[in-house]
Amino acid sequence: MIDYSIKFKNLPQLDILLDNTLVTSQYKELLKSNYQREFPLFRDQQKYTVDYLKELASKAKQLLGWDWDREQYTLAETTLMHKDIERYLANGFNSITNEHDQLCHELHFCLHAVESNSTRDGWLQIEWFNDDRLPLPELLYPKKLNLEFGDIRLQNPHVGHHPLYLFQQNDYTNIMQTCKFHNYIKPGINIVTVSEPIKEFNANRYLIWFKARCPEFVELHGEQAILNYTGHPIIGKVVNLDDLVTVSTAPILELESITFNY
């Protein structure tokens, strides 16, 4: 049975089937309770352009003292900029003012949108900006090495990235700060709109990479914890993939409703 459906205005609805696990059961209840209290936010990557990032960079310089003005925003540049957000939010969003909170959310989203060339070739995300969350123990982490078009992924609870992402990006700058285990379930819907298969995964080579780049991180958490949190947190899928193609390529996306079937 379909767990819930997402409707964007003037477009076919997307039907979501979740895996039958304890994590998805908790996630469904968290999602439903948040939707009953408040309508979520959907931000379209196509609106988050380089020009908009330059506007945000101007505000960031004025309010936070960050120099983000660049001629080109390459992956190397945006990765370093991401570190500014990580450092500033080391103690969480509760530690900053509301004005800075909104700016950091926009900066963070825009950075990743620009990395995807401001297209929907990556993800569609529906989210709530609150502190509602549930613990996600490492042995229950729903890891998957390959991303497939239509996967439903848990929303990242941190500004940092999970271990596999850093390994794939070869990003070893300030790993102690950047590498964050996905140890919480947040209310949000992240729909994968790209397929990213891994041709080969060698766990030994993977751990050697971490031990060479950040032995302190390995010593702190242990090799097994890194392996247990390795992979994308996939909890279900969009059933009607042809309709997802229609939605993800539509000129305009405006969220209309979410319907729960449980």
Query: What's the pLDDT tens digit per position in 67-104?
Result: 998 888 998 899 989 999 988 887 776 777 777 888 98
SS (H, E, C) the chain: CCCEEEEECCCCCEEEEECCCHHHHHHHHHHHHHHHHCCCEECCHHHCCHHHHHHHHHHHHHHHCCCCCCCCCCHHHHHHHHHHHHHHCCCCHHHCCHHHHHHHHHHHHHHHHHHCCCCCCCEEEEECCCCCCEECCHHHCCEECCECCCEEECCCCCCCECHHHHHHHCCCCCHHHHECCCCEECCEEEEECCCECCCCCCHHHHHHHHHHHCHHHHHHHCHHHHHHCCCEEEEEEECCHHHHHHHHCCCCCCEEEEEECC
CATH annotation of 4-44+120-253: 2.40.100
What pTM value is reported for the model? Answer: 0.87
Q: How confident is the model at residue 200, as a pLDDT? A: 87
CA distance 158 to 93: 10
Q: How confident is the model at residue 199, as a pLDDT? A: 79
Q: How confident is the model at residue 152, as a pLDDT? A: 98
CB 103 within 8 A of CB 59: yes
Residue 65 has pLDDT above 80, yes or no: yes
CB 106 within 8 A of CB 193: no
pLDDT digits (tens, 9 = 90+) for 155-207: 999 989 999 999 999 999 999 999 999 999 999 999 999 998 887 899 999 99
Percentage of the chain exceeding pLDDT 70:
99
What confidence tier does 105 reach under pLDDT thresholds 50, 70, 90?
confident
Mean pLDDT (whole number) for 21-25 = 97
Mean pLDDT (whole number) for 237-256 = 97
Residue for token pair 């097994």: 224
Q: How confident is the model at residue 120, as a pLDDT? A: 87
| Least reliable range by pLDDT among 105-119, 174-188, 208-222 | 105-119
Q: What are phi and psi of 254, to 5 degrees?
A: -135, 120
Residue for token pair 């957000």: 85
Mean pLDDT (whole number) for 246-256 = 96
Q: How confident is the model at residue 241, as a pLDDT? A: 98
CA distance 8 to 253: 6
Q: How confident is the model at residue 131, as a pLDDT? A: 85
CB 114 within 8 A of CB 47: no
Residue 202 makes CB contacts below 8 A (sequence gap 6+) with: none
Q: How confident is the model at residue 90, as a pLDDT? A: 76
Q: Which of 197, 113, 77, 92 is nearest to 147 (CA)?
A: 197
For residue 196, the cross-strand partners are 147
Q: How confident is the model at residue 246, as a pLDDT? A: 98
Residue for token pair 């780049």: 213
CA distance 86 to 105: 12
Domain boundaries, the chain: 4-44+120-253
Q: How confident is the model at residue 129, as a pLDDT? A: 86
